[in-house]
A and B are shown apart, each in its own frame.
Chain A
Amino acid sequence: AQKVTQAQTEISVVEKEDVTLDCVYETRDTTYYLFWYKQPPSGELVFLIRRNSFDEQNEISGRYSWNFQKSTSSFNFTITASQVVDSAVYFCALSVAYGNNRLAFGKGNQVVVIP
């Protein structure tokens, strides 16, 4: 079975601080895909990144960066110099190569950025 754990439920930071969201996943499959989504108060889930199990390169996109480590089954997400617009719920999700694109979501991290 596939499982994603996001242990921190709510994280508060002061604007301009960095915040790291932990994502630990479990799967027996060797081919899988990991995703991060952002859900602002408006409700829409916004796709942020996809990483496949064979690509362990870290990625940076503006103030966002991701650290994928297969050895610890983790796919952590860091927001650098946080801004109020980063206040949202962030979901980590896992999909395995069964051909039905079923996502196993973590419980989500509520990030509150205080001005």
Chain B
Amino acid sequence: DTEVTQTPKHLVMGMTNKKSLKCEQHMGHRAMYWYKQKAKKPPELMFVYSYEKLSINESVPSRFSPECPNSSLLNLHLHALQPEDSALYLCASSQGLADSYEQYFGPGTRLTVT
């Protein structure tokens, strides 16, 4: 089973709201990723977790706060977002951080900030 699930599928939030995106995988993968994708652009890496520890933060604004409660779950907490943060947020996982491992992506959460 090569499935990564994400909830919710769609999210509309105001600039003062706090919300969370959730990602789950049951493939036993030890690396998990958050990407942001704007329309007609490739995904941009935001965060990488390896063995539940934050490994990479691509200088993402603090209004995005990742959390990895266990090896199967990855959350992205959102607070005081801006309209330009509207995008598709993709979660991915891989066996580990070795560059040979392919990443498996979830279906994404389409976020609209009003």
Q: Are B42 and A101 in contact (CB under 8 A)?
A: no
User: Which of B42, B100, B105, B106 makes the CB contact (< 8 A) with A106?
Assistant: B42
A residues 10-35 touching B (CB-CB < 8 Å): 32-33, 35
Residues of A within 8 A of B106 (CB): 44
Cα–Cα distance between A64 and B48 once the two chains are bound (Å)? 31
CB distance from A108 to the nearest CB of B (A): 6
Contact with A along B14-46 (1 / 0, CB 8 A): 000000000000000001000000001111010
CB distance from A7 to the nearest CB of B (A): 14
A residues 88-108 touching B (CB-CB < 8 Å): 91, 95-103, 105-108
Interface size in chain A (residues, C-beta < 8 A)? 27
Q: Are B48 and A101 in contact (CB under 8 A)?
A: yes
Residue of B55, B104, B105 with most partner-chain A CB within 10 A: B105
Q: Are B56 and A107 in contact (CB under 8 A)?
A: no
CB distance from A29 to the nearest CB of B (A): 10
CB distance from A2 to the nearest CB of B (A): 11
**20 contacting pairs across A/B (C-beta < 8 A):** A43-B108, A44-B106, A45-B92, A45-B105, A46-B105, A47-B104, A52-B100, A97-B99, A99-B97, A99-B99, A100-B56, A100-B97, A100-B99, A101-B31, A101-B94, A101-B98, A102-B99, A106-B42, A107-B42, A108-B42
Give the interface of B toward A (CB within 8 A).
2, 31, 40-43, 45, 48, 55-56, 88, 90, 92, 94, 96-108, 110
Q: Known pairs A32-B99, A108-B41; list 11 more (Cβ under 8 Å).
A: A37-B105, A42-B107, A50-B100, A91-B42, A91-B43, A101-B31, A101-B96, A101-B98, A101-B99, A102-B56, A108-B40
